[in-house]
């Protein structure tokens, strides 16, 4: 029986461990934090199988100055950080050409169209229905111009058969009467769903993994030794040999990759959330506010406002001005919000072509990578787990994964 280590216990790692264990392998899940408590904890709660529009888009280079100058805009950039990491930024901009964006969108769709059915395979055995809502996700545009500017995204979705329903102001009001009269129009993503408690879902899948005989070690990977037919991991004062390792440590995955001899242009999109108190049901579904790039979601313990993108690296302290902006805009859209209960910042792993890395290392065939899912890691957790299960058993996945190959860098 193959002995597999999965390094990283976010939703991607948990799903990888689950599917590997279901296939009868010996599986050890490793993380220095508790499962599902990092980036997989604080996101916008959507199973966003419609999210095939990459962050890269044609004309972005001309939009960046006005985006940065916009006080309440969706993007914030640390200028000195970008200058220091200029090669990454230039590579990102190279992927903004129309033909490249269309290719990226098609590759994202290739994964996303399998995302719901892959989760449903888990949910047949892991009871999480109390944490899932089928109220479809709503996207709001503040002006006609913002709706018109979104036309390229609409074309990408139409070309990739993503179903979207356009709504006028009255139709939006009928769906979500508590939203303030600050929007021009909306879009509903047909068939989408979301969770009201992402940590509970991660925890239940993890607990099922343990019930199946999986092992969890809460340790940091201090070192790695490549042997002829195995890999030795140093975990605290322990050294354990594994036949294969799966690297899905999110924004920290390069720490492991460098030990193998690989290095990838991995950076991070810092995202924020605020949790507001509420004594009543204010909204039925995730409501995205285009002006500032975040979602409002009613979850089990309040209303969460989550999203935006900040490029500032892994180690910089949270930016209080981003939290203030999200609170200000949230109260503009949903004035009934109560006091702030808590705030949070997470680090989404991102590559300059907006695609994840999924595949075997070019340096060591016993190392498989699964990271870089950007803001859709929650959505792609299960389908990534199924792909990794196939690769670990030297099977060919039923999805073409050539676009996500580590060898592209």
Check which CATH number belongs to the domain holding 258 and give it. Answer: 3.50.50.60
Which run of H or of E encompasses 275?
strand 267-276
User: What pTM does this model have?
Assistant: 0.96
Distance from C-alpha of 221 to C-alpha of 32, rounded to nearest angstrom: 8
pLDDT at 362: 95
Q: Please identify, among 331, 350, 369, the residue that sits at the C-terminal boundary of a domain.
A: 350
Q: Does residue 141 share a domain with residue 246?
A: no
What's 305's domain CATH number? 3.30.9.10
Q: Does residue 333 share a domain with residue 208?
A: no
Asked if residue 303 is part of any domain, the answer here is yes
- How far apart, in Å, are the Cα atoms of 48 and each of 298, 313, 314? 16, 25, 25
Domain that holds residue 8: 3-40+200-264+354-408
Q: Does residue 144 share a domain with residue 184?
A: yes
Q: Does residue 315 share a domain with residue 185?
A: yes
Asked if residue 116 is part of any domain, the answer here is no
Q: Which residues does 300 contact at the CB level (< 8 Å), separation at least 6?
A: 131, 196, 197, 200
Q: Does residue 288 share a domain with residue 366?
A: no
pLDDT in tens, the chain (409 residues): 789 999 999 999 999 999 999 999 999 999 999 999 999 999 999 999 999 999 888 888 787 777 667 777 888 888 889 889 999 999 999 999 999 999 999 999 999 999 999 999 999 999 999 999 999 999 999 999 999 989 999 999 999 999 999 999 999 999 999 999 999 999 999 999 999 999 999 999 999 999 999 999 999 999 999 998 999 999 999 999 999 999 999 999 999 999 999 999 999 999 999 999 998 999 999 999 998 999 999 999 999 999 999 999 999 999 999 999 999 999 999 999 999 999 999 999 999 999 999 999 999 999 999 999 999 999 999 999 999 999 999 999 999 999 999 999 9
Asked if residue 110 is part of any domain, the answer here is no
Among the listed residues 331, 310, 330, the one whose alpha carbon sits nearest the alpha carbon of residue 320: 310
Distance from C-alpha of 233 to C-alpha of 247, rounded to nearest angstrom: 12
Q: Please identify, among 350, 376, 396, the residue that sits at the C-terminal boundary of a domain.
A: 350
- The percent helix, strand, coil of the chain (3-state, each to 5) is 35, 25, 40
Q: Does residue 147 share a domain with residue 23?
A: no
pLDDT at 405: 98
In a 13 Å sphere around the CA of 198, the CA atoms on its Cβ side amount to 27
The total domain count for the chain is: 2
Q: Does residue 90 share a domain with residue 158?
A: yes
Q: Please identify, among 350, 379, 397, the residue that sits at the C-terminal boundary of a domain.
A: 350
Q: Does residue 165 share a domain with residue 84?
A: yes
Q: Does residue 217 share a domain with residue 171?
A: no
Backbone angles phi, psi at 375, to 5 degrees: -90, 10
Among the listed residues 23, 76, 34, the one whose alpha carbon sits nearest the alpha carbon of residue 307: 76
Distance from C-alpha of 163 to C-alpha of 165, rounded to nearest angstrom: 7
Asked if residue 402 is part of any domain, the answer here is yes
- How far apart, in Å, are the Cα atoms of 390 and each of 121, 256, 316? 15, 22, 37
Asked if residue 151 is part of any domain, the answer here is yes
Collapse the DSSP code of 370 into the 3-class scheme (helix H, G, I; strand E, B; otherwise coil) and give the result: strand
Q: Where on the phi/psi map is residue 93: left (φ > 0), alpha (ψ -120 to 50), or beta?
A: alpha
Q: Does residue 182 share a domain with residue 35?
A: no
Distance from C-alpha of 355 to C-alpha of 60, rounded to nearest angstrom: 17
Neighbours of 61 (CB within 10 A): 10
Q: Does residue 329 share a domain with residue 180?
A: yes
């Amino acid at each position: 029986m193959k002995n597999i280590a999965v390094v990283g216990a976010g939703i991607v790692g948990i799903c990888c461990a689950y599917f590997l264990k279901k296939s009868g392998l010996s599986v050890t899940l490793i993380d220095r934090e508790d499962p599902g408590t990092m980036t997989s904890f604080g996101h916008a709660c959507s199973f966003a199988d419609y999210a095939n529009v990459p962050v890269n888009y044609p004309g972005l280079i001309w939009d960046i100055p006005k985006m940065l100058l916009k006080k309440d805009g969706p993007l914030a950039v640390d200028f000195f950080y970008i200058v220091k990491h200029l090669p990454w930024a230039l590579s990102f901009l190279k992927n903004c050409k129309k033909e490249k964006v269309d290719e990226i969108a098609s590759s994202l769709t290739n994964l996303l169209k399998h995302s719901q059915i892959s989760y449903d395979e888990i949910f047949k055995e892991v009871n999480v229905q109390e944490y899932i809502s089928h109220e479809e996700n709503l996207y709001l545009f503040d002006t006609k111009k913002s709706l018109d500017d979104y036309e390229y995204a609409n074309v990408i979705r139409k070309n990739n058969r993503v179903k979207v329903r356009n709504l006028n102001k009255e139709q939006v009001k009928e769906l979500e009467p508590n939203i303030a009269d600050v929007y021009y129009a909306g879009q509903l993503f047909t068939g989408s769903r979301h969770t009201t408690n992402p940590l509970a879902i991660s925890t239940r899948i993890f607990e099922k993994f343990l019930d199946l005989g999986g092992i969890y070690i809460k340790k940091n990977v201090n070192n790695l030794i490549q042997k002829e037919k195995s890999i030795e991991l140093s975990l605290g004062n322990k050294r354990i040999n594994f036949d294969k390792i799966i690297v899905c440590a999110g924004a920290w995955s390069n720490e492991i990759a460098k030990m193998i001899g690989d290095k990838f242009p991995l950076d991070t999109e810092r995202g924020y959330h605020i949790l507001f108190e509420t004594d009543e049901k204010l909204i039925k579904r995730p409501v995205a506010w285009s002006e500032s790039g975040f979602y409002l979601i009613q979850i089990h313990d309040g209303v969460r406002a989550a999203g935006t993108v900040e490029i500032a690296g892994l180690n910089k302290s949270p930016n209080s001005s981003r939290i203030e902006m999200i609170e200000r805009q949230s109260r503009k859209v949903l004035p009934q919000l109560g006091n702030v209960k808590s705030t949070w910042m997470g680090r989404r792993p991102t590559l300059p072509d907006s695609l994840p890395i999924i595949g075997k290392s070019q340096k060591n065939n016993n190392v498989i990578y699964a990271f870089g899912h950007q803001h859709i890691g929650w959505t792609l957790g299960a389908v990534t787990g199924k792909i990794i299960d196939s690769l670990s058993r030297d099977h060919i996945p039923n999805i073409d994964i050539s676009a996500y190959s580590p060898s592209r860098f």
